[in-house]
Amino acid sequence: MPCNSGLTYTNRPQRICILTKRVFDACIQQRRLDEQLFVNFPEPAETFVEVISDGTSIISDLTITPTNTAGCSRVRFTQTIPLQVVAQNANGDPVVGTTQVVLNQDLLMRVPRDSLVPAEVSVTTNVSGFLGSLEDNILTITLCTTIIVRIVADVDIVINTCGFINLPPCNNYSEDVCSAAFAMPIYPTR
């Protein structure tokens, strides 16, 4: 069964205005963090399994200071990364607890100035940790973190478009035992 394809457009080319976030600057950090974290578990946990992050970060204490470098600013903030810690209790059942990692960021980035629409700092984070030990709700672990920091602002942008797309119908997935047999030709082709 083929996947959906063949999008077509309804109109001739035209220019439209859309509201979107524009990225003015972005950077990526990859860090190895050796941490000892207190984990809040709803019940006693004995064996560590993994750390899970959902990509969110909380930004606080943000200061943006223009520098002498053309167009650049010093961007400082505290980044709090909420984490879920998966462990097992004495019976081997999963127990999920919560903790957080706090990082202080001090970056040099291009931040637009003097506008009615303010620029914002946006952070996306991925944290993984599989090798750790748990004792008395203290997790000793090495975390692998990937952090993407963006300077963004809501903007109205004019783009060229061919109009709205005509969406093809969806193909339902099926693991029907007979689908291969039904797809064969009824009569021999040669």
**pTM of the entire predicted model:** 0.75
Q: Give tens-digit pLDDT for 58-88.
A: 999 999 999 988 889 999 999 999 999 999 9
Tokens of 50: 């993994």
| Nearest residue to 26 via CA among 146, 179, 182 | 146
Stretch (H or E) spanning 78: strand 72-88
Q: Domain residues of the chain, as ranges?
A: 18-159
Residue with tokens 């972005």: 26
For 8-66, how does the pLDDT look when each residue is reduced to its tens digit (9 = 90+)?
556 677 888 899 999 999 999 999 999 999 999 999 999 999 998 877 899 999 999 99
Residues composing the chain: 190
Cα(145)–Cα(128) distance, integer angstroms: 7
Distances in Å between the Cα of 145 and the Cα atoms of 22, 34, 38, 105, 184 are 25, 11, 18, 14, 51
